[in-house]
């Protein structure tokens, strides 16, 4: 089982990725999200905290070409849930949950990104906290064929995660042209006991230095509900 740093560094371009797991002592949830970029537009971003979540914004607004797939809320919280995604489906899940609907029902209304020929998958996760633990939902929405004529939606439900383990779901298998979409189940990774900043530093060191853009990490104490976060931006 790879460490989180080994997993994110296994390819030069995993794209955008989500890791959710439990510390090895079993006391804290660990959530992480990172973005990478190959174009000037993709690299011209930073993470900022805002109203109980994080959002992306242009580092240099004069260089922003197309904000449609670049600017969004990767993380939003509502009640006992933390939602993490790689696009504006964060808002879709957030709205559905607040209206009493489900993670799955929300994502059945969405498809992969319209960025042919890559058809970037939408990856999403939601941690639901309660009774000193948490449940995890994850999903990927990817093109069902090379033409992007249909969508394949795959969902995973984890009633409980083992201490010291996490699930890693990312958009791409590797670099390429077009870029191959992630396939298979979320990868299992080893999770340690560091605080949010230590975990962020570990993950940042594992990401390809040429392509990494921004990284967010949250840890939450499962007994008290107290959380701490860390953000690392390439541009600062």
Question: What is the structure's pLDDT at 62?
Answer: 85
Predicted confidence at residue 70, as pLDDT, reads 84
Interval 119-150: pLDDT, tens: 999 999 999 999 999 999 999 999 999 999 99
Taking the C-alpha atoms of residue 81 and residue 136, their distance in angstroms, rounded to an integer, is 10
Beta bridge partners of 156: 138
**What pLDDT, on the 0 to 100 scale, is given for residue 135?**
98
Residue entry with tokens 């990172």: 34
Domain boundaries in the chain? Answer: 2-233
Which residue in the block uniquely carries the two structure tokens 């890693």?
Answer: 168
CATH of 2-233, picked from 3.90.180.10, 3.30.479.30, 3.40.50.1100, 3.60.20.20, is 3.60.20.20
| Alpha carbons 94 and 145: distance in angstroms, whole number | 29
Q: What is the pLDDT of residue 163?
A: 97
Q: How far apart are CA 113 and CA 195, in angstroms?
A: 34
The parts of the chain modelled with pLDDT lower than 50 are: none
Residue 34's pLDDT is 98
pLDDT for residue 63: 85
Q: What is the pLDDT of residue 58?
A: 94
Per-residue pLDDT of 39-71, as tens digits, reads 888 899 999 999 889 999 999 998 888 888 889
């Amino acid at each position: 089982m790879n460490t989180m740093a080994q997993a994110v560094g296994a390819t030069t371009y995993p794209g955008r990725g989500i890791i959710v797991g439990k510390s090895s002592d079993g006391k804290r949830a660990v959530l992480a999200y990172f973005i990478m970029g190959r174009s000037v537009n993709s690299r011209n971003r930073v993470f900022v905290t805002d109203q109980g979540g994080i959002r992306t914004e242009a580092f240099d607004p004069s260089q922003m070409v197309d904000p449609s797939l670049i600017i969004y809320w990767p993380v939003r919280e509502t009640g006992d849930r933390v939602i993490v995604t790689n696009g504006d489906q964060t808002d879709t899940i957030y709205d559905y949950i607040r209206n009493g609907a489900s993670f799955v029902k929300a994502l059945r209304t969405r498809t992969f990104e319209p960025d042919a020929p890559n058809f970037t998958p939408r990856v999403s996760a939601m941690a639901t906290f309660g009774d000193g633990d948490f449940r995890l939902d994850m999903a990927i929405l990817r093109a069902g064929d090379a033409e992007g004529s249909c969508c394949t939606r795959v969902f995973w439900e984890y009633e409980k995660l083992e201490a010291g383990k996490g699930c890693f779901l990312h958009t791409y298998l590797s670099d390429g042209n077009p870029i191959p979409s992630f396939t298979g189940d979320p990868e299992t990774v080893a999770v340690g006991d560091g605080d949010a900043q230590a975990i962020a530093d570990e993950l940042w060191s594992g990401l390809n230095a040429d392509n990494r853009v921004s990284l967010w990490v949250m840890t939450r104490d499962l007994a008290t509900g107290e959380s701490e976060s860390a953000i690392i931006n390439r541009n600062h």
